[in-house]
Amino acid sequence: MSLSNIRIVLVNPLYGGNVGSICRAMANMGLSDLVLVAPANLDMDEARMMAVAAKDILERRRVVGTLGEALADCGLAMGTTVRAGLYRAHVRTPREWTPRILEAARTGKVALVFGRENSGLTNEELALCTNLIQVPSSPDYPSLNLAQAVMVCCYELFVAEGTFVPPEELSPECAGATREHMFTMWREMLLEIGFMNEQKADHMMLGIRRIFGRNPLTDDDVRIMMGLARQVLWKVRDGAPPPPDKPGPESP
C-alpha cells in the first residue's frame, strides 16, 4: 500500500506533546514511518500521553542529525511552508499534490517534511525538498499548529488512497405505496393538531413532500415517521388507543 511508503519528517521539533499528537494523527490515517531531525529535549512523558494508542509509532521513531539523512532514501520530498516568496511561488495544497505523492509512493519512499513550531523550515532545508506544500488557511492567521498541519496532509492522502469504505445503509429505499401511506398519515395528523386547515392542506403537503424528498427515504425512515404520526393522533384524540397496524411493509 502506498501509505506505508510515506514518511513524516519533523525538523527540530520542540514539544513532546506535538510529536505525540502527530503519532496519533499518523495512526488515524494509516501512516507509521516517523523520523525526527535533531529534536529538542522533548518531554517524552507528554509525547506518550498525547500519542494515546499510537505509542508504537512513537517508540519506533528514528532520530537523525540532519535533514539530508532523513531524505537520503526518498525520491520525492515535500516541504511544507506558510511563507510566500520568489522561490516558494510553486507551492500547491496537499490536495493538489496528493495524486503525485501517491503515485511516487507506489514505487519508492516519499517524505513529507515539517519544520519547527516557531519558525518552520529554512530556505536551505526547503532547497533539499523537491516540491513545496502549503495548507490553505485564513490570511488573518495562516500559521497552523504542527500536529494539525500533519493531520491535514495525512488526511488528504488517506482519503485519496481509497482505503476507507463508508458504512452502507442497510434499510432499502421505501416503496412508493409505503411513502404515500406515510403522507396520508401526516396529512391526517397535521389537520388534527391544527397545523393546517383543509383549504390549504394540499399546498402545505407539497411543502412536506419537498422536505422529505431532499434525501432518500428508507423503509426504516418511513416507519419512524408513520409511528410519530400514529402516536400524535393517539395523544390528541383523548388518549384513544392507536389503530391497529395494517399488515405490510409500512408497519413499525
Residues 178-184 have a mean pLDDT of 93
Give yes or no for residue 108 having a pLDDT over 90: yes
246 versus 251: the higher-pLDDT residue is 246
What pairs with residue 37 in β-bridges? 11, 64
Residues 15-27 have a mean pLDDT of 97
Domains and CATH numbers, the chain: 2-161 (3.40.1280.10), 176-236 (1.10.8)
Residues 5-12 have a mean pLDDT of 97
Q: What is the pTM assigned to this prediction?
A: 0.75
**Structural contact between residues 123 and 17, judged by C-beta atoms closer than 8 angstroms:** no
Q: What is the 3-state secondary structure (H, E, C) of 213-245?
A: CCCCCEHHHHHHHHHHHHHHHHHHCCCCCCCCC
Give yes or no for residue 244 having a pLDDT over 80: no
Q: Running DSSP on this structure, what letter comes out for residue 196?
A: S
Residues 125-149 have a mean pLDDT of 93
Residues 214-239 have a mean pLDDT of 89
27-84 pLDDT, tens digit per residue, is 999 999 999 999 999 999 999 999 999 999 999 999 999 999 999 999 999 999 987 6
* Most confidently modeled range among 14-23, 166-175, 204-213: 14-23
**CA–CA gap between residue 41 and residue 4 (Å, rounded):** 28
Q: What does each C-alpha distance from 244 to 31, 70, 217, 231, 241 come to in angstroms?
A: 56, 72, 23, 12, 9
Mean pLDDT of the chain: 90
Give yes or no for residue 251 having a pLDDT over 60: no
**CA–CA gap between residue 71 and residue 73 (Å, rounded):** 6
